[in-house]
């Protein structure tokens, strides 16, 4: 069964850039959709964007100008960069796999990112 391990971030300052990476183990990287989803403390889920097996990306329009999702298929990894951080970007960030574009099947453990001056 697929295992997703994620790392990066922690505490960042306003205007800095967030960088997170997920590694995939146990199953092929290609052939799936790889998403980033975030959840502010005590609040709901927000889809950030996705990259698929052909490298095609889609983003939440509200974050598209600041978010970049990329992949490294040789390392079975995919990454998120989010620029111009503000306190509103404080959240748990999840990397997630789907067999199709619209379903979130397997979730990473989540990484807490705090933006504070």
Partner 1 sequence: QSALTQPASVSGSPGQSITISCTGTSSDVGGYNYVSWYQQRPGKAPKLMIHDVSNRPSGVSHRFSGSKSGNTASLTISGLQAEDEADYYCSSYRSGSILLFGGGTKLTVL
Cα separation, 93 vs 109, in Å, equals 9
- Does position 68 interact with partner 1 (CB under 8 A)? The reply is no
**Rounded to the nearest 5 degrees, what angle is found at the Cα of 78, between the Cα atoms of 74 and 84?**
140
- Does position 61 interact with partner 1 (CB under 8 A)? The reply is yes
Size of the chain in residues: 117
Residue 16 or 98: the one with the smaller Cβ distance to partner 1 is 98
- If 0-12 CB within 10 Å is exposed, 13-18 middle and 19+ buried, where does residue 98 land? middle
Kindly state the number of chain residues that form the binding site for partner 1, as judged by CB under 8 A.
19
Nearest approach in angstroms of CB 65 to partner 1 is 15
Letters for 7-46 (x = contact with partner 1 by CB under 8 A, - = none) are ----------------------------x--------xxx
Q: Within positions 72 to 111, which residues make up the interface with partner 1, using CB under 8 A?
A: 94, 101-105, 107-110
Residue 24 or 50: the one with the smaller Cβ distance to partner 1 is 50
Q: Which residues pair with 78 in a beta bridge?
A: 22, 71
- Up-side HSE of residue 60: CA atoms within 13 Å toward CB? 14
Q: Which residues bind partner 1 (CB under 8 A)?
A: 35, 44-47, 50, 58, 60-61, 94, 101-105, 107-110
């Amino acid at each position: 069964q697929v295992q997703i391990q994620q790392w990066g971030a922690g505490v960042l300052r306003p205007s800095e850039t967030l960088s997170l990476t997920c590694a995939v183990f146990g199953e092929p990287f290609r052939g799936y959709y790889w998403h980033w989803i975030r959840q502010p403390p005590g609040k709901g889920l927000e889809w950030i964007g996705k990259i698929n097996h052909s490298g095609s990306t889609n983003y939440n329009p509200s974050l598209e100008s600041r978010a970049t999702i990329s992949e490294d298929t040789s390392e079975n990894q995919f990454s998120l960069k989010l620029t111009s951080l503000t306190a509103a970007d404080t959240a748990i960030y999840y990397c997630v796999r789907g067999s199709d574009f619209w379903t979130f099947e397997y979730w990473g453990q989540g990484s807490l990112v705090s933006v504070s001056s």
